């Protein structure tokens, strides 16, 4: 079950939080909440339950790794092609959906061919060491700032194989990851990272390095990453699989529809494709190097500087000089062959300054009842704007052909997913602003659809929107909770 939030003004949540949409609803990296497997804390993936045999294996691997931090696992490859592992890996990939890879093969194609037969052939290829990774199809998705983020889409065959390997490796490395890392883990998430930052700035860590790395996934060096993997895993066949995935060619389609393959990752010896099931685990594993190095440094101890990391986003909250912490971070990142994005990295002194992290703004807040200032977190203006923009797109003229109930259903999914993540601190002002905008846009859409020359307040009053069409009203979710309007 998800934890209840505790990062309001008095450390209280506005309600129990179970993110309904594992996409990027928060405007940060997870709500990634989307992980490689999306396996929930109770061992379920939607309606997909982890088989008992898989649970037992993962529990045993984790217990061994936890009990013996220096133990190296030497016989793991044969577990990757176990029937129960591959079957569950297929279920995870299908639950995550996703587009086809370079071979154009989709889930329906495999099921038509015969799933048991297809998985059997994959197991045989792995067992006989004849499996070879295919090229990764590259697509680009638009980032909130308008820039494009490259995304790698492996073939279904590679995705199932990577997920199987991830199911074996994840419990081993989970035992080693420090608590400062919150992304792609079963027991923590983005909201836990937000709560931790909230706690730190309220316990004197008010000099903050708001750091950003340039192309983290594309910059991870293969040799050093493989050293991190082999510190725990010495099974050469499994290490060979990982190296194949790291060096897989990339196929792009230009504007004329021509396909071109490149081998930049292999040639440069760096980079892991975002979008591959195993990439989040490898990204966490390499970031662990920085966090452990930071913890052991005299600088971190002298400044009482604490890290909160989520994927490639991180903040360093310090009791003392953040300038020294930033300089130390630059030196360590350079040794790790990573690049600090100087345009986005900044120093903040709370409460004089504020900063954004994982979709929330941290800084000085004011009580609407007493006017008293306090340090807290609230949904950032960018996060609110992204939701408003998405609702605006849903209610454009080109959607007049949709039925009103279908449109409202789509809007409600957006609203609920957003509110399930943005539930910490004083959120009522944001909720009310979103309610006002959503109702206005829906009225305009209804008037346009039915060719009414009015603003629609009389024809489509609030009672019609919220009772007849069942539009979600976010402000009602917190009206009985005093800290929501603190």
Nearest alpha-carbon partner for 377 in 14, 60, 111, 87: 14
Question: Between vectors from CA 279 to CA 274 and to CA 284, what angle results, nearest 5°?
Answer: 115
Tokens of 215: 């192309």
pLDDT score at 223: 96
- What residues contact residue 406 under an 8 Å CB cut-off, 6+ apart? none
How would residue 479 be classed by pLDDT, with cut points 50, 70 and 90? Answer: low
- Indicate the range of 18-32, 109-123, 284-298, 303-317 predicted with least confidence: 18-32
d(CA 190, CA 201): 17
* Phi, psi (degrees; rounded to nearest 5) at 396: -75, 165
Mean pLDDT in residue range 223-243: 96
Q: Distance of alpha carbon 425 from its chain centroid, rounded? A: 21
Tokens read off for 213: 């790395």
pLDDT tens digits for range 44-70: 444 468 899 999 999 999 999 999 999
Residue 365 in contact with residue 378, Cβ under 8 Å? yes
Mean pLDDT, to the nearest integer, of 59-83? Answer: 95
Task: Give the pLDDT mean for 179-196.
Answer: 93
Burial class (CB in 10 A: 0-12, 13-18, 19+), 74: exposed
Residue pair 425/378 in contact (Cβ under 8 Å)? The answer is yes
Which H or E run contains 409?
helix 404-421
Mean pLDDT in residue range 6-27: 34
Residue appearing with tokens 């092609």 = 81
Whether the ω angle into residue 471 lies within 30 degrees of 0, i.e. cis, is no
d(CA 303, CA 179): 19
Percent of the chain topping pLDDT 90 = 70
Structure tokens that stand for 145 in this block = 């700032």
The rounded distance, in Å, linking the Cα atoms of 212 and 201 is 19
For residue 352 the two structure tokens come to 């004089």
Q: Is the pLDDT of residue 12 over 70?
A: no
How confident is the model at residue 370, as a pLDDT?
A: 80
Q: What is the pLDDT of residues 253-298, one digit of tens each?
A: 887 878 889 998 999 999 998 889 999 999 999 999 999 999 999 9
pLDDT of residue 457: 81
280/138 Cα distance (integer angstroms): 17
**Residue bearing tokens 């982890």:** 50
pLDDT of residue 97: 86
**What is d(CA 441, CA 189) in angstroms, rounded to the nearest whole number?**
33
pLDDT of residue 31: 37
Q: N- to C-terminal Cα distance for the chain?
A: 27
Q: Are 167 and 37 in contact (CB under 8 A)?
A: yes
State the pLDDT at residue 30.
39
The predicted model gives 79-84 an average pLDDT of 96
Asked if 9 and 376 touch (Cβ cutoff 8 Å), the reply is yes
Higher pLDDT, 223 or 260: 223
CA distance 467 to 219: 52
Residue 62: phi, psi to the nearest 5?
-65, -45
Each residue's pLDDT tens digit, 418-470:
999 999 988 989 999 999 999 999 999 999 888 888 788 888 899 999 999 99
Tokens of 132: 């070879």
Q: C-alpha dihedral over 473, 475, 478, 480, to 10 degrees? A: -100
How far apart (Å, rounded) are the C-alpha atoms in residues 343 and 2? 35
Per-residue pLDDT, averaged over 7-36, amounts to 35
Q: Which residue has 């279920």 as its token pair? A: 91
Give pLDDT tens digits for 127-160: 999 999 999 999 888 776 677 888 899 999 999 9
| Mean local confidence (pLDDT), 18-43 | 37
Give me the residues paired with residue 351 across strands: none
The whole-angstrom separation of Cα 148 and Cα 145 is 9
Residue 269 and residue 223 in contact, taking contact as beta carbons nearer than 8 Å: yes
How much is the pLDDT for 482?
45
């Amino acid at each position: 079950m998800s934890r209840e939030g505790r990062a309001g003004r008095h450390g209280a949540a506005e309600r129990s939080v179970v993110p309904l949409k594992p996409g990027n609803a928060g405007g940060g990296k997870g709500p990634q909440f989307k992980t490689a497997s999306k396996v929930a804390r109770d061992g379920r993936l939607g309606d997909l339950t982890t088989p008992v045999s898989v649970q037992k294996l993962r529990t045993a691997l984790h217990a061994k790794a936890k009990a013996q931090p220096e133990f190296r696992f030497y016989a793991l490859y044969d577990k990757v092609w176990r029937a129960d592992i591959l079957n569950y890996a297929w279920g995870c990939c299908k639950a995550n959906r996703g587009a086809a890879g370079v071979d154009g093969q989709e889930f329906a194609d495999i099921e038509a061919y015969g799933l048991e037969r297809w998985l059997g052939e994959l197991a045989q290829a792995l067992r006989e060491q004849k499996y070879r990774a295919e090229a990764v199809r590259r697509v680009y998705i638009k980032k909130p700032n308008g820039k494009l983020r490259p995304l790698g889409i492996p073939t279904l065959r590679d995705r199932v194989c990577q997920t199987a390997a991830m199911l074996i490796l994840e419990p081993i490395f989970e035992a080693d990851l420090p608590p400062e890392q919150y992304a792609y883990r079963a027991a923590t998430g983005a909201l836990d990272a937000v709560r931790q930052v909230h706690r730190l700035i309220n316990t004197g860590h008010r000099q903050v390095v708001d750091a950003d790395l340039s192309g983290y996934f594309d910059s991870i060096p293969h040799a050093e990453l493989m050293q991190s993997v082999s510190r725990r895993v010495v099974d050469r066949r499994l290490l060979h699989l990982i190296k194949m995935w790291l060096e897989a060619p990339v196929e792009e389609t230009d504007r004329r529809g021509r396909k071109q393959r490149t081998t930049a990752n292999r040639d440069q010896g760096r980079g892991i494709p975002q979008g591959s099931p195993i990439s989040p685990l490898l990204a966490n594993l390499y970031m662990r190097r920085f966090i452990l190095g930071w913890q052991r440094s005299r600088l971190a101890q002298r400044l009482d500087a604490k890290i909160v990391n989520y994927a490639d986003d991180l903040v360093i909250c310090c009791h003392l000089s953040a300038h020294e912490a930033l300089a130390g971070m630059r030196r360590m990142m350079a040794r790790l062959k990573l690049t600090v994005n100087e345009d986005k990295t900044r120093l903040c002194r709370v409460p004089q300054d504020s900063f954004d992290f994982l979709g929330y703004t941290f800084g000085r807040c004011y009580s609407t009842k007493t006017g008293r200032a306090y340090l807290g977190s609230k949904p950032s203006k960018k996060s609110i704007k992204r939701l408003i923009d998405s609702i605006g797109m849903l209610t454009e003229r080109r959607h007049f052909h949709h039925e009103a109930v279908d449109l409202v259903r789509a809007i409600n999914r957006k609203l609920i997913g957003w509110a399930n993540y943005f539930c910490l601190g004083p959120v009522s002002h944001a909720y009310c602003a979103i309610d006002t905008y959503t109702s206005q846009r829906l009225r305009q859409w209804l008037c346009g659809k039915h060719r009414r020359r009015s603003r629609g307040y009389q024809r489509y009053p609030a009672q019609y929107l919220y009772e007849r069409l069942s539009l979600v009203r976010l402000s009602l979710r917190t009206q009985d909770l005093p800290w929501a309007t603190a």
